[in-house]
Every structure is written in C-alpha cells, then in structure tokens.
Amino acid sequence: MFHYFAIRSDQLPYLVPYFLSAALMLAMLAYLWRQRANPLARYYGWVIVAQFVSTVAYVLEIAADELAIKAFWDDLQWEPVAGRHPRCLFYAPCR
C-alpha cells in the first residue's frame, strides 16, 4: 500500500535548510559535471551524490506518516553515509 508524503505546515520551517542544502548540492553536481575530466572532481561528485541521497531520505523520513515507512527512509538515509568516508580516501592519490 502506497502512502503519499505530505509535509505539514509545522514541519516546513525545519525542513527549509534541507531543501536549500539539496539545491546547493545539485548546483555543485552541475559544476562537477563540467569538470568531470578531473579525477578528483569525479570522486568528489560521488561524495556529493551520497550526501544528496542522505538529505532527501531524511526529508522523506520526516514527511512519512507511518513508522514502517519512517524506518525504511531512515535505513536508506544511513547507507550513503557509510560509503562516503571510504570514498574520501581517493583524494590523497589525486593531489
């Protein structure tokens, strides 16, 4: 059964920074796409994608109504974080 996500008006002020953060990450990804010939830009692009997925999953977790859906988005929220830190190790050889 699919439930729609509805952000309540009392949640909106707390989620505005996350919306702005997601928009900034998309702008960074657009810039990194133009710099994709640089290997460092490619690695950093994957870090930004992981952070974007984590941020969007957090917003969807807040907007969910049922506990099972909240648990799903919470699990999805932490998966990119686990892979983000090992990707940062690729920066050292690129310098």
Q: Where are the domains of the chain?
A: 12-94
Range of weakest confidence among 32-36, 49-53, 83-87: 83-87
Q: Are 66 and 26 in contact (CB under 8 A)?
A: no
What does the alpha-carbon distance between residue 8 and residue 79 come to, in Å, rounded to a whole number?
Answer: 26
Which pLDDT score, from 0 to 100, does residue 30 have? 96
The predicted pLDDT at position 42 comes to: 83
Whether residue 59 is predicted with pLDDT greater than 60 in this model: the reply is yes
Give the per-residue pLDDT at 46: 84
pLDDT in tens, 2-45: 556 677 788 888 889 999 999 999 999 999 999 989 888 888 88
- What is the pTM assigned to this prediction? 0.78
